[in-house]
Amino acid sequence: MLQPGDTIPDLSAPDQNDQSLPLRQRLGAKGAVIYFYPKDNTPGCTVEANDFQTLGAEFAAKGFTVIGVSKDSIKSHVSFCTKYNLQFTLLSDTDGALCEAFGAWQEKKNYGKVYMGIVRSTFIVDGHGVVRKVYPSVKTAGHAAAVLGEVDRLSLA
């Protein structure tokens, strides 16, 4: 998993509008919050997305973009954005390149079954693409607010 001080990879993935740009071109003036989540339209992922949407104007006012990443299709992202009126970027990482490069693709265990999947994780990145803070295993409740507070604490805004 990427750590503070690492530079994010400059990979591309299409967003919900089927526009593919290098990740560093998606950063806001001061940086970005890049969060990885398992699946559109699931309870925890919906809570997390709605919380980031609710605080979206505050992140934008601080010069930060919010970028969600999952392996869901563009079509799934369009449906998710429409259903919940999400106004931030969701990247469709169907080949898993971003998930692997950030270290969010990991072995998981559920009811004794072992499988590979996306570990819910968040990265605060400055405007130069340098990771400033990593949340390696996220619980959704209150997470977006904690990330917003950390942006202030790091004096990135």
pLDDT tens per residue, range 115-141 = 999 999 999 999 999 999 999 989 998
For tokens 């980031």, name the residue: 52
Gap between the Cα atoms of 81 and 41, Å rounded: 10
Please report whether residue 59 resides in a domain: yes
CATH of residue 70's domain is 3.40.30.10
| pLDDT surpassing 60 at residue 20 | yes
| Position 4 in a domain | no
Based on the residue annotation, tell me whether 45 is a catalytic residue of this protein.
yes
In a domain, 24, yes or no: yes
pLDDT at 157: 56
Residue 123 lies in a domain: yes
Of 2, 23, 33, 45, the catalytic one is 45
Mean pLDDT of 85-101: 97
Q: What's the pTM? A: 0.95
As a whole number, mean pLDDT of residues 14-26 equals 96
Q: Is 26 a residue whose pLDDT tops 90?
A: yes
The answer as to whether 2 is a domain residue is no
Which pLDDT belongs to residue 110?
A: 86
Please tell me which residue, 119 or 155, carries the higher pLDDT value.
119
How many domains are contained in the chain?
Answer: 1
**Tally of CB atoms within 10 A around 43:** 8
**Phi and psi angles of residue 50, each rounded to the nearest 5 degrees, phi first:** -65, -35
The rounded distance, in Å, linking the Cα atoms of 3 and 142 is 22
* Position 156 pLDDT exceeds 70: no
Instruction: Give the range of the structural domain holding residue 120, as residue numbers without chain letter.
Output: 12-153
